[in-house]
């Protein structure tokens, strides 16, 4: 006997289609048994009462959540791998052009180099997001990817592949930029990377910012970027309202503002990274003091991502509409539950296809009436 299950979580109805072999109870006028019997148990013989509907739907929901949590099938998804490769290429382009822009700005002798660096970095980022968004979502930042995973917009597997690709793209871009400008220039400007302390002149000692203050600044500025980004683009309902072309430039402006904010606070301090991928590449290419306190540029964005995810889950940008829908859904569920409690038994149906072309349908309810689809009541055995 073939058994097909169909669960409906919305209305709590569990249906089973049983197709008996030829010569079964559909032949003649033989009935299918008392209406209180809900499905046949061929293995043990006779009839069997199924589990409660609530137990069935709960188990189904748990199983689905568990499978979604693992999402190991993404490792075999070619689309995920292609997107990760594109993410790595976008990060490479952003880092390569960004490093060269920073070095050119500092070499040109701008009176306010931090402003020029912030503007150029924001523009490069905006253009890379605009180019890569259709292919990968254009995170180009492990902090964005981490937060997108925590908010449930991407799977853990995709997030891991993205972060690996972003890290590799940053490292390759930094090594390429170092090969172009030479080791002396790369060391002089630290490849535009992230550092807590440095020697600002030949006669001065090492100055900069301690790890505690740098960690607070990194966390705060990264949260600022995430907060604005989710309000204008990363929250799916908000992106169409902002505009697919305008959103990248707004995000670029926000990141540029963050770079300017932390760029000149303390002498010898390289400013907030905001993007761990932007920090890892120059650190690998140059080594040495670039690794001092490097954990700050990863721990700060990680904490900011956790805070943003907690805020997003509890008070999303469209929270007014979301909570109205949730309230309406709860009211509908409560109304449906009150109707269900008025019955002694939840209605369930079993449908049999017969050899003569007719179908017999049993309706199980408190009055234990069983009717066929043509309105005839089958005889009880």
Alpha-carbon distance of 115 to 112, in angstroms, equals 6
Return left, alpha or beta for 351; rule: phi > 0 is left, psi -120 to 50 is alpha, else beta: beta
35-39, 84-88, 228-232: segment of lowest average pLDDT: 35-39
Q: Maximum Cα–Cα distance for the chain, whole Å? A: 106
pLDDT score at 237? 83
Alpha-carbon distance of 164 to 318, in angstroms, equals 32
The CA-to-CA distance between both ends of the chain, in Å, stands at 21
- What percent helix, strand, coil does the chain show, rounded to 5? 60, 10, 30
For helices 211-229 and 142-150, the axis angle rounded to 10 degrees is 60
The domains of the chain are located at: 77-313
Asked if residue 148 lies in contact with residue 154, where contact means CB atoms within 8 angstroms, the answer is yes
Cβ burial, residue 272 (10 Å; 0-12/13-18/19+): buried
Q: DSSP letters of 84-119? A: HHHHHHHHHHHHHHHHHHHHHHHHTT-SSHHHHHHH
- Between 175 and 8, whose confidence is greater? 175
Averaged pLDDT for residues 230-254: 90
Q: For residue 289, what is the DSSP state? A: G
Asked if residue 181 lies in contact with residue 106, where contact means CB atoms within 8 angstroms, the answer is no
| Helices (H) then strands (E): counts for the chain | 12, 8
pLDDT score at 330? 84
The string of pLDDT tens digits covering residues 343-368 is 554 555 555 455 555 554 544 444 44
Alpha-carbon distance of 102 to 116, in angstroms, equals 8
Class of domain 77-313: mainly alpha
pLDDT score at 340? 66
Q: Six-digit token pair at 222?
A: 């990264």
In this prediction, residue 252 has a pLDDT band, given cuts at 50, 70 and 90, of very high
The string of pLDDT tens digits covering residues 51-88 is 333 333 333 454 555 555 556 677 888 899 999 999 99
Say if residue 110's pLDDT is above 90: no
Say if residue 115's pLDDT is above 80: yes
Q: Six-digit token pair at 39?
A: 């499905």
Say if residue 241's pLDDT is above 90: no
Q: Tell me which residue has tokens 């940053």.
A: 170
Say if residue 42's pLDDT is above 90: no
The string of pLDDT tens digits covering residues 146-189 is 999 999 899 999 999 999 999 999 999 999 999 999 999 999 99
Asked if residue 230 lies in contact with residue 307, where contact means CB atoms within 8 angstroms, the answer is no
The string of pLDDT tens digits covering residues 305-325 is 999 999 998 887 777 776 777
Of the ranges 16-20, 173-177, 235-239, 374-378, the best mean pLDDT one: 173-177
Say if residue 126's pLDDT is above 90: yes
């Amino acid at each position: 006997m073939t058994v097909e299950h169909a669960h409906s979580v919305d209305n709590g109805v569990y249906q089973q289609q049983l197709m008996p072999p030829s010569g079964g109870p559909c032949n003649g006028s033989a009935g299918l048994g008392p209406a209180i019997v809900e499905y046949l148990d061929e293995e043990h013989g006779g009839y069997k009462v199924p589990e409660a509907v609530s137990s069935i739907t709960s188990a189904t929901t748990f199983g689905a959540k568990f499978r979604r949590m693992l999402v190991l099938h993404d490792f075999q998804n070619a689309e995920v791998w292609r997107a990760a490769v594109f993410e790595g290429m976008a990060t490479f382009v952003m880092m390569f052009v960004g490093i060269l822009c920073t070095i050119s700005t500092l070499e040109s002798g701008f009176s306010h180099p931090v402003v020029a660096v912030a503007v150029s970095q924001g523009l490069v980022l905006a253009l890379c997001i605009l180019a890569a968004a259709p292919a990968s979502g254009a995170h180009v930042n492990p902090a964005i990817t981490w937060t997108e995973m925590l908010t449930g917009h991407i799977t853990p597997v995709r997030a891991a592949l993205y972060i690996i690709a972003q890290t590799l793209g940053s490292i390759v871009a930094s090594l390429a930029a170092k090969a172009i400008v030479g080791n002396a220039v790369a060391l002089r400007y630290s490849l535009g990377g992230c550092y807590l302390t440095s020697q600002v002149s030949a006669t001065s000692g090492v100055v900069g910012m301690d790890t505690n203050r740098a960690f607070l600044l990194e966390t705060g500025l990264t949260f600022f970027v995430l907060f604005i980004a989710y309000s204008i683009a990363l929250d799916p309902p908000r992106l169409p309202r902002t505009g697919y072309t305008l959103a990248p430039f707004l995000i670029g402006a926000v990141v540029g503002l963050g770079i300017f904010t932390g760029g000149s606070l303390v002498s010898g301090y390289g400013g907030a990274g905001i993007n761990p991928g932007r920090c890892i590449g120059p650190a690998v290419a140059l080594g040495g003091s670039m690794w001092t306190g490097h954990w700050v540029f990863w721990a700060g964005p990680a904490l900011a991502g956790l805070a943003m995810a907690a805020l997003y889950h509890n008070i999303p940008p469209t929270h007014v509409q979301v909570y109205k829908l949730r309230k309406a859904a709860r009211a509908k569920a409560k109304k449906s539950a009150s109707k269900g409690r008025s019955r002694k038994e939840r209605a369930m149906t079993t449908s049999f296809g017969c050899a003569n072309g007719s179908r017999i349908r049993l309706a199980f309810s408190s009055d234990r009436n069983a009717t066929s689809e043509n309105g005839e009541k089958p005889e009880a055995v």
